[in-house]
Amino acid sequence: MTLHRKSFHELTTDELYELLRVRSEVFVVEQNCVYQDLDGDDQKSIHLWLTVEGKVVALARVCPAGTHMEQVSIGRVITTERGKGYGKQIMLHAIDAAVECFGATHIDIEAQEYARGFYESVGFKQSSNTFMLDGIPHIKMTWKIATNR
C-alpha cells in the first residue's frame, strides 16, 4: 500500500482524473446523488489517496480554514474496497495532514449520518443536529487536538 499526498498544483493530470473519476463513481453513481463535486475547493486543498497495486482504494481532501468550512475540514472521504481498514487509514493520514500543513487544532467535517460511528472511531464527535445535504442526511462532526493527541 502506498500513501500519496499532494497539493492540487502537484497533481498530474492523470492523478487528478483518477481522483475525480473515483469521487464521481462513489458519490454520484453508487450513492445516486446529483451534486456539484467540482466546488472550487480542490485548488486550495491537500489531496491524499492510498493505492494498492496501482489502484486507488481510499481518498480524502483536506481544506484549509475558510475554504469549505470556517475551520480546517476534511471531505470527499472514500474507500473503494470496504472492510479492509483503508477508510480509517486515510482519515488518520488526513488528520495528520491537517495538523502538519494547516496547523489544525480543530477539524470539522460534514459526515453522512450513517457513518457517524466510523468518524467517532478516529476521534470526531457529533457537533450538530441532522441536516440534509444533497438529499442525504448529514451531521457536523468536530475533532479537537487537545482531546485526541
pTM > 0.85: yes
Q: What is the CATH number of the domain that holds 9?
A: 3.40.630.30
What backbone phi and psi angles, to 5 degrees, belong to 62? -115, 120
Q: For residue 36, what is its C-alpha cell?
A: 456539484
* 105 neighbors 95 (Cβ within 8 angstroms): no
Range of the domain at 50: 2-148
Q: What tens-digit pLDDT sequence spans the chain (149 residues)?
A: 999 999 999 999 999 999 999 988 887 677 776 766 778 899 999 999 999 999 999 999 999 999 989 999 999 999 998 899 999 999 999 999 999 999 999 999 999 999 999 999 999 999 999 999 888 899 999 999 875 54
Q: How many domains does the chain have?
A: 1
Per-residue pLDDT at 148: 52
- In this structure, the dihedral spanned by the alpha carbons of residues 108, 119, 17 and 55, taken in order and rounded to 10 degrees, is 150
> Which candidate, 66, 36, 38, places its Cα nearest to that of 133?
36
